[in-house]
Structure 1
Amino acid sequence: MRRTNTVHTLLRRVTRGNGFYIGEIFHAAARRTPATPVTLDRPLQWAPDRGTEFTVGQLAAQIDDLAARLWAAGVRPAERVALYKTDNFDIALLACAAGRIGAVPALLSPALDGAVAGALLTRLDRPWLLTDADTLTGALREVPLAGVVRGTLLSAGRAPAGAPDTVLLADHAGAPRRDPVFLHPHQPSLITHSSGTTGIPKLAVHCPETGWHRLVPQQIVAWPIRERETAALCMTFVHSRFYQGLAMFLGHGNPLVIAVDPDPARIGPLFTRTRPGYIETHPNTYVDWEELDAAPGAPLSSVRVFGATFDAMHPRTIQRMLGASRRKRPLFVQFYGQSEIGPMAGRWYTRRTAHRSDARCVGLPLPGFISMRVVDDAGRRVATGRTGHLEVRSRTRILTYLGEDDRFRSQLHDGWWRVGDMGYLDRWGLLHLMDREVDRIETMDSNLAVEDLLMGRLDELREVVIVAGPDGEPVPVVATRSEEPLDPARWRMATEDLPPMAPYRQFPFEGLPRTSTRKIQRPELARIVRESPPRPVATGREPGTVTGA
């Protein structure tokens, strides 16, 4: 413990005053390698005539242009700018532009419905609203914005009738360029929201210094593929991880491919054309990309490193990804983390190790950056190998939950942050993740472990989630790749050695409630299961396959 504290103290002294500023990501890269190419899968919504092929220097110039327009529209340093608009890479450019002039971008997922977005706008305490005409007349149509936002800025489209306080950024074309504004390293500089798996998302307040401490270990991991490999990112533009990914690879001079649409039918041709050496997406999107292992053009054949940072991965998916690569020694690198802390632990897999991997083992807590302990309900450390509540101490923690500081502080215990997950540390110091605290079912050691087994045994599964039923019993919810009813006989064979469960419920894949990072909203799914009685599917097969509403 003394050695760990010494490392933390040394790093704190060496790194004091450093900051991660999203408004500087493209400009820092443009000063070194302005010609680095960036390929998009669709045109920018704010500038559709500019195509999909850019250089880093061109995107830095666009950010300067947008920052000048925001300033001309009245946005000033330290003011909050809520970004809630149609899903497109211009979300990132607008966020960087707001950060460039010292404003604080608050990134709201396009996947949020209007009512939830309205609640978060209220919590942001009169921010600027930066949106587009389609969103303003669509998702926000029924949301009362008067008195909630300082003003409404449109990045694309025309102001609808009856919206006199709406300003079009297009009206400020040619505005004078502004010098960058750098906030204090401990000052709020970015606001993102939690996944919302347990209800209304929490607004996480980031500062430059904590962002910098998150970035450093990830840059170290990316060092071996600097400049040499094209990096493809397909993930939400409203999560802090996306901006860390941009900084990682732009800082190393890697060409970039940025994709909005994760549909394998579109991603396959894009990867066949661009041949990325690194790809990163959400864990559940990787499940959908399993079918790319046999797709025309071998779209995954060029991949040297697969990255995942949002959640634990199913072993089946890791094996499929590595098997689809034709590189000599491909790696699958996995980080375990959360919005409030960033990456906490990591490990990698090879073709030789993936088939015998334990998906519950998410790796080693990042040395020098993360201290981790496991405690019981009373906050006392538990013995090695015993499951308990995970707590971490780090310099990567957010400042607070905006408007919910008491809620934030309730998760702090003498400087240790309660992660909200259950797990244990083995004798080698490796972290084994079991379940979310709120998702625990008394009759199962780990819902997640059973889900991993079922995904490995039933290739036809696209998703399986175990939630608590009306009486606390484990209820498996499944979705198949083809949306065909799951064969009850295969299910019985796959589950005969597993803990007793209620009959499975089959749902359409798109009917499963999800977050912006495509995680299942388990509490919401449990509510749906409790409130919708099972209905037999008329397939001619024996009873047992059921579907939810």
Structure 2
Amino acid sequence: MFRIPASNNGLYLGSVPQSAAAKNGGTLITLDHDMATLPAVGRTLTVAELAEHVDDMAGRLWAAGIRPSERVAVHMSPGFDIYVLATAVARIGAVPVMLSPALEGESVAALLERLDRPHLLTDGAKLDGPLADFPVADLTDRTVVATGSRPGAVSLDDLAGAPRQQPVLLHPDEPALMTHTSGTTGLPKLVVHSARTLRGRFRPQERLASLVRKRETVAIHVSYVHSRMYLALAVLLPRAMPLVIMNDSEPAGVAELFAETRPGFIETHPNSFMEWEELVDHPRRPLANVRYFSTTFDAIHPSTMDRLLRASERRAPLFFQIYGQSECGPLVGRGYTRKNAHKADGRCLGFAMPGVTNFRLVSRNGARPSRDTPGYIEVSTAGRALTYFGEGERFDQQVHGGWWRGGDVGYRSGYGCLHLLDREVDVIPTIHSTLEVEDTVLGRLEELTELVVVAGPDQEPVPVVCTRNDRPLEAERWRAAVADLTPMAEPVQMPLTELPRTATMKIKRIELSQRLRTQEGRAS
């Protein structure tokens, strides 16, 4: 039975749109796509209309038989309706479990099994595609289709006009949202957030938003299943910031969208920012009005920050780099300007947020953590998740007192900046930092759109390169660019679209390394 908290110590995602609508219901939200679940909406809606759609869908989900504290796996084709429906699930006190549209059917089936017969909220494209070969009925309590109808499934279309329901607020320490880790090292883990831990994540993000004094249009291109999307809108919707929500990262379409909407604040994944470097010289000047760039998912290359900052025509644009993890939310960060981005140390992720987050370095081999002997990065924050669903022991192994060890290694500079050198699983014995090498070479070769250094069959560093328009890499330029670096194997060139990625556009380095080994084995 659900409990109502005596005081509001949490962030309740299902109430965010309604609360924001009460303050500034006329604020505009622009989409670059149509929502399959709400086709009549088109590509613009107000915050008040968003709140109305969430309330409507919450009533339909209740009529479908979903009740407080029950788990609802949300696995749909990409679109802003994922946010609408997940927020509606939360509004009736159920727990949305966000499964990326990019997950393969085998992974979705394994996660459904781990969830022990949850409800499944999905669409025909997923049922007929990735899930077609799996016993969905056996893995779930009920299937709810967001559009159309399917035999044996409940249709939300058929429940239009269902009675509205009052929002249900669970106790702030009960599960409120589940998202999954990036899946760069195998089957994703299901991260359990509560209303209280979501409030802990909200605080540092609200602090960053408070630096934006002027009302700006904010363009967001992040995964709809990542907790970042839900926290970003929890911060922005009440601030009357016009929003541009993006499905597509293809540069040509982004150029047209930004030329029309003129965003002053852009947030996306580091790899999307790399992809958008070609917008710098676009004749429509799509980045001219950007005052703030922000990324929270991974470290970003200094050369990318420098190029994007110089494309802005605002007086003093800023690039915020925030380091965070799925289990903890944002942890450390810093800002860059045109004056220092080009000479930035890409391994410097920034500083802890006083009163909100903290970090420490723990020795891996008995030596004091330093650049030459990096230690485990451990962090402390009120935003740390409760556990991994179904894998509590695995989560607890990474908890050390009040500190969380996330699997990254690095050191603290004399100025107190956290430097990340590598994921522990990505460390190559002969190379100081794969990420540092990538930063350096990408800064020297403008023709590269991506560079990933992974371990080869004999643990040798193998550079995988992608070039603009897939032009052949010039061997002489490559040799000159890496002449003063640790020796590496000859570069392997492949199209950017062939790199294996997660929902947040991170490169799956282990999978890429295994792919190269398989190809070499076949060749021999």
Q: TM-score range by the shorter chain?
A: over 0.9
Matches within 5 A, 1:436-515: 436-515=423-502
Give per-residue Cα distances to partners, 1:293-341, cap 9 Å, x unaligned. 1113211111110010000101111011101111001000110011001
Deviating 4+ runs (over 3 angstroms)? 378-386
Task: Find the counterpart in structure 1 of residue 66 from structure 2.
Answer: 75
2:156 is equivalent to residue 150 of structure 1: no
Shift of 1:381: 6.4
Q: In the alignment, residue 184 of structure 2 is paired with which amino acid? A: T
After TM superposition, the structure 1 stretch with the greater mean CA deviation from structure 2, 480-489 or 181-190, is: 480-489
Displacement, 1:396?
Answer: 1.2
What's the CA shift string for 1:108-143, capped at 9, x where partnerless?
A: 000111111111111111111000111111111011
Q: Does 1:517 align with 2:508?
A: no
1:220 corresponding residue in structure 2: 207
Residue of 3, 22, 25 corresponding to 2:13: 22
Measure the CA separation in 1 of the matches of 2:521 and 2:63.
Answer: 57
Residues in 1 aligned to 2:471 and 2:214: alpha-carbon distance in whole angstroms: 45
Conservation of the 8 A alpha-carbon contact between 2:367 and 2:373: no
Give TM-score, length-normalised by structure 1.
0.92
Matched, 1:528 2:515: yes
Contact 2:427/2:433 (8 A) holds in 1 = yes
SS at match of 2:174: coil
Residues 226, 46 of structure 1: alpha-carbon distance in 2 compared, 3 angstrom cutoff: farther
Q: Give the C-alpha shift of residue 458 in structure 1.
A: 1.1
Select the residue among 391, 394, 398 that pairs with 1:411.
398
SS, match of residue 517 in structure 1:
coil
Amino acid at match of 2:201: R
Q: 1:182 is matched with which residue: 165, 169, 180? A: 169
Counterpart in the other structure of 2:3: none
Shifted more, 169-178 versus 250-259: the winner is 250-259
Q: 2 CA distance for matches of 1:432 and 1:57?
A: 43
Q: Structure 1 residues 185, 227: CA separation in 2 closer, same or farther (over 3 Å shift)?
A: farther
How far residue 473 of structure 1 moved from its aligned partner, in angstroms, is: 0.6
8 Å CA contact 1:78–1:104 kept in 2: the answer is yes
Q: Name the structure 2 match of 1:340.
A: 327
Which residue matches 1:272?
259
Looking at structure 2, the residues matched to 188 and 268 of structure 1 have their Cα atoms a distance apart, in angstroms, of 40
Shift, 1:282, TM fit: 0.5
Shift of 1:211: 0.9
Q: Name the residue aligned to 1:389.
A: 376
In structure 1, C-alpha distance between the alignment counterparts of 2:463 and 2:445, rounded to whole Å: 13
Q: CA deviation at 1:147?
A: 2.3
CA contact (8 A) 1:451 1:465 kept: yes
Flag the 1:130–1:212 CA change in 2: closer, same or farther, 3 A.
Answer: same
Q: Equivalent residue for 1:10?
A: none
- Given that 1:223 and 1:252 are in contact with CA atoms closer than 8 Å, whether structure 2 keeps it comes out as no
For 1:281-296, what aligned pairs fall within 5 Å after superposition?
281-296=268-283
Q: Deviations over 1:354-384 (max 9, x none)?
A: 1111110000012212221111126886469
Q: Which residue of 1 aligns with 2:111?
A: 120
Q: Which amino acid aligns with 1:110?
A: P
SS of residue paired to 1:189: strand
Structure 1 residue runs of 5 or longer lacking an equivalent are 1-15, 536-547
2:290 corresponds in structure 1 to: 303
CA distance in 1, matches of 2:214, 2:146: 33
Give the whole-Å Cα distance in 2 for the aligned partners of 1:496 and 1:214. 43
User: Distance in 1 between the 2:237 and 2:99 partners?
Assistant: 24
Query: Whole-Å Cα distance in 1 between the matches of residues 136 and 366 of structure 2?
Result: 44
Whole-Å separation in 1 of the counterparts to 2:369 and 2:465: 35
Q: 1:312 aligns with which of 272, 287, 299?
A: 299
Q: Deviations over 1:389-414 (max 9, x none)?
A: 11112211100011111111111122
AA of the residue aligned to 2:215:
R
3-state SS of paired residue (2:67): coil
Work out whether residues 31 and 246 of structure 2, in 8 Å CA contact, stay in contact via their aligned partners in 1: yes
Report if aligned partners of 1:388, 1:423 keep a CA contact under 8 Å in 2.
Answer: yes
Change in 2 beyond 3 A, CA 1:384/1:512: closer
Conservation of the 8 A alpha-carbon contact between 2:290 and 2:313 = yes
Deviates more, 1:113-122 or 1:215-224: 215-224
Show CA shifts across 1:421-440 (max 9, x none): 01101122110110000000
CA contact (8 A) 2:370 2:410 kept: no
Q: Does 1:360 align with 2:343?
A: no
Write the distance in 1 (CA, Å) between the matches of 2:251 and 2:366.
Answer: 45
Contact 1:477/1:504 (8 A) holds in 2: yes
The separation in 2 between residues aligned to 1:424 and 1:223, in whole angstroms, is 29
Q: Which amino acid aligns with 2:26?
A: A
Partner residue in 1 for 2:99: 108
- Is this contact kept in 2: 1:373–1:381, CA < 8 A? no
Structure 2 gap ranges (5+): 1-6
How much has 1:20 moved relative to structure 2?
1.2
SS in 2 for 1:343: strand
- Is the 1:107–1:191 contact (alpha carbons within 8 Å) kept by the matching residues of 2? yes
Select the residue among 186, 203, 213 that pairs with 1:199.
186
CA, structure 1 residues 25+379, in 2 after alignment: closer, same or farther (shift >3 Å)?
Answer: farther
Does the CA contact (< 8 Å) of 1:44 and 1:90 recur in 2? yes
> How much does 1:225 deviate?
2.3
The residue aligned with 1:140 is 131
* Residue of structure 1 in register with 2:417 after alignment: 430
Asked if the contact 2:24/2:238 (under 8 Å) is kept, the reply is no
What is the number of equivalent residue pairs in this alignment? 518
Change (3 A) 1:237 1:94: same
Identity %: 51
Q: Tell me, yes or no, if the aligned pair for 1:227 and 1:253 is still in contact at 8 Å.
A: no
Q: Relative to 1, partners in 2 of residues 1:302 and 1:383: Cα closer, same or farther, differing over 3 Å?
A: closer
Note the C-alpha offset of 1:483. 1.2
After TM superposition, the score normalised by the length of structure 2 is 0.96
Deviates more, 1:225-234 or 1:273-282: 225-234
Which residue does 1:236 correspond to in 2? 223
- Aligned-pair CA distance for 1:157: 2.7
Q: Distance in 2 between matches of 1:376 and 1:238?
A: 34
Query: Alignment partner of 2:11: what SS?
Result: coil
Matches within 5 A, 1:155-166: 155-159=146-150, 163-164=151-152, 166=153
